[in-house]
Structure 1
Amino acid sequence: MIKIRKSAHSIFLVLLFITQYAFCTASGANTLVDSLRQVIQNNQGAKKTDAQLDLAMAFMGEDNDQALTLARTALNTAKERDNKKLQMRALLTLGRIYHDLNNNSRSLACYDSALNIAYQLDDFWYQSDIFLRTGINQHTSGHHLEALQSFNQAIQTGRQSDNYRVVGAAYSMMGTVFRVNGLYDRAIEYIIKARLNYEKADFTEGYAWSAYLLGRIYNDLRLMDKAMEYFMLSLETYEELAQKDQNKNGVVICYEQIGILNLLQGNTDEARKYIENTLQIFEENNSEYGTSNAYKNLGRIEYESGNYALAEKYLKQSLNSKIKLNDYLSQPSLYLYIGLCYIDTERTNAGLTSILKGLDQAIINNQKSIQLDIYSKLSDIYLNLNDLDKALACQQQQINIQDSLLFGAANIKIEQLQGIYELDAKNSQIAALEQQNEINRLELRQHRTSRILMIIAVLLAIIISCIIYIFYQRMRQKNNQLEEANQAKDKFFAIIAHDLRGPVHTQTAFLDHLHQEFNSLKKDELKNLLKLLVSASENISDLLDNLLLWAQSQVEKIEVKTVELELKGVIQNTVEKLQQSANLKQIAILLDTDNQLKVLSDANMLQTIVRNIISNAIKFTPRGGSINVKTFGSVQKEVTIQITDNGLGMDSEKLNQLFDISSKSHSQGTENEKSNGMGLILVKDFVEKNKGTINIESEKGKGTSVIITLPQA
Structure 2
Amino acid sequence: MRYFFVLLNFLAVVAFAQQRPQLPNLKTTPDSRKVQAYITISKAFEASQPDSAVHYANEGMRFAEKRKDQNGQAQLLLRLGNINATHRHTDLARRFYNESLTMFRRLRDAEGVARTYDALGLLDGTEKNLPAATQNLHEALKLYKNKRDSSGIIETYEGLGRVYAQKGDTEKALSYYLRALDYYHHHKTKPEAYFVLLENISNIYQKKGNTAAAMHYLKEGLDNSKQQALRDTEPHLLNEEGKVFEQTHDQLKALSAYKEAFAEAKRYKQPEEQAQALINIAALLKKQDTKTSLSDLKLALNIAKGLKQPQLEANIYKAMAGVYQQEKNYREAMEALEEQHRLLDSLLQADTAKDIASLDSSYALESSREKIGNLEDINRKERTELILGLIILVIVIIMLIGLVVYLRKIKRLNEELRNSNRIKDTLFSVIGHDLKGPAGSAAQLFELMETEEFTEEELRGMIAELRKQTTASLELLKALFEWGKAQLQGIKVNPSDFDPKPVIARTIHLLSAQAAQKNISIDEKIAEYLLIHADADHFEFIIRNLLSNAIKFTYNGGSIQLAANLVTDKKEVVFSVSDSGIGISKAQQQVFLSGNLNVSFGTAKEKGSGLGLMLTKDFIKANNGRIWLESQEGTGTTFYVALPVG
- TM-score, length-scaled by structure 1: 0.44
- TM-score, length-scaled by structure 2: 0.48
